[in-house]
Amino acid sequence: MAPVQYIRTPPSIYSRVQYDNEEEGILTVAKEFIAKSSVPDFLPTWNKNEKYEPLKFYEHHDVGFKADASFPNLLPKDTVTTKNITPKLELNDAAKDELALFVAQKGLVVFRDQDIASKGPKFSADFGRYFGPLHIHPTSGAPRTSTELHVVYRRPDVKDIYENRTNLVQWHSDVSYELQPPGTTFFTVVEGPESGGDTLFADAVEAYNHLSPALQKRLEGLHAIHSGVSQALTSRRGGGLVKREPVENVHPLVRTHPVTGDKALFVNSGFTRKIVELKEDESDYLLNFLYDHLNNSHDLQARANWLPGTVAVWDNRRVNHSALLDWEGGSSRLAYRITPTAERPVYDLKDLNAPDVNRVFVGNDYTPSD
């Protein structure tokens, strides 16, 4: 009898081979999918020669610090009504500062009827760069002209994504394994099914506030390891590329937002692996409690649906999220994320922007590529 192959990671939109063509080292999706797309400039490509070093520490000064908290540029009184709550995302710098503050305060803001995608990939990258250096994803494809955009693409011919899993909900804070994970983050779906594919959000500030003072106190001072190894392995096992070798960094379990001063639980079931100060079984027990609390407390969650032109902006420092892959097969979905990075996470703001170094993973269950 043939051995049963055991693969823990589900065959999600992130793990399967997405490309069909290769031209001069650039991998692309099938020409038939490109021909059918109304936004071909946003379709993912993978450059086999694209390799990056681990990210280095930099001092992050959040633009929300500069904002006028009465939001005169972002929400000008003479144009804001209950039906048209926002100007387009063509914001001047003062309005961008206010947007950063507004999103830090709310966690998640959903804008309808935006035209940012119609301006092409470069506009989006330039827009996002104002908020912080853009993160280049280690495994995902990107528009050929803008490597900093993270493209989430599901091709129309994917079959039986639930083959090994009863559901594909995967709560996470984007690339939390990085030394300086993202802050103000933008996401829009530019082509997709008529319904389905919503995104779930959970507020980790609210989750922290729901805990008893005794448990809050116990969690403060603890640290957790966040790992990019399984994401890199999943990509490599699925025939994908790894543009930057994975890192594992230690972050405080409770994180303080530099602009609002709010404390948030900074753990997520996607990338957090172990609490440094605890034994393995103690760590598993406590992390599972915190995952249950964040992932299943519907009274601290929101669900965003994607109409044409919708742009969701969330603060990855205080919000976890999960995609929902619930739409019918046969329909492709193309979305992209603009991912400005932010400060090295800290519990105590006196440590804000204290220099640190990246931890490149050197464990023996991962073999770096050539």
Contact positions toward Fe ion, by CB under 5 A?
174
State the minimum distance, in angstroms, from the CB of residue 25 to Fe ion. 28
Closest to Fe ion by CB, 97 vs 137, is 137
Asked if 171 contacts 296 with a C-beta cutoff of 8 angstroms, the reply is no
Residue, CB closest to Fe ion: 174
If the CB atoms of residues 148 and 174 are measured against Fe ion, the closer one turns out to be 174
Query: Least Å distance between CB 29 and Fe ion?
Result: 20
Q: Which is nearer to Fe ion, 95 or 340 (CB)?
A: 340
Angle at CA of residue 194, ends 191 and 195, nearest 5°:
115
For Fe ion, give the closer residue by CB, 12 or 353. 12
| CB 238, min distance to Fe ion, A | 18
Nearer to Fe ion, 98 or 174 (CB): 174
Nearer to Fe ion (CB atom), residue 97 or residue 174: 174
Closer residue to Fe ion (CB): 174 or 245: 174
CA–CA separation, 157 and 175 (whole Å) = 27
Smallest separation, CB 71 to Fe ion (Å): 27
Q: Round to whole Å and give the CA distance between 338 and 152.
A: 11
- Residue 127 sits at φ, ψ, to 5 deg, of -60, -50
Output the smallest distance, CB 369 to Fe ion, in A. 24
Among 358, 309, 301, 361, residue whose Cα is nearest residue 335 = 309
Write down the least CB distance from residue 337 to Fe ion, Å.
7
Closest approach, Cβ 323 to Fe ion, in A, equals: 7
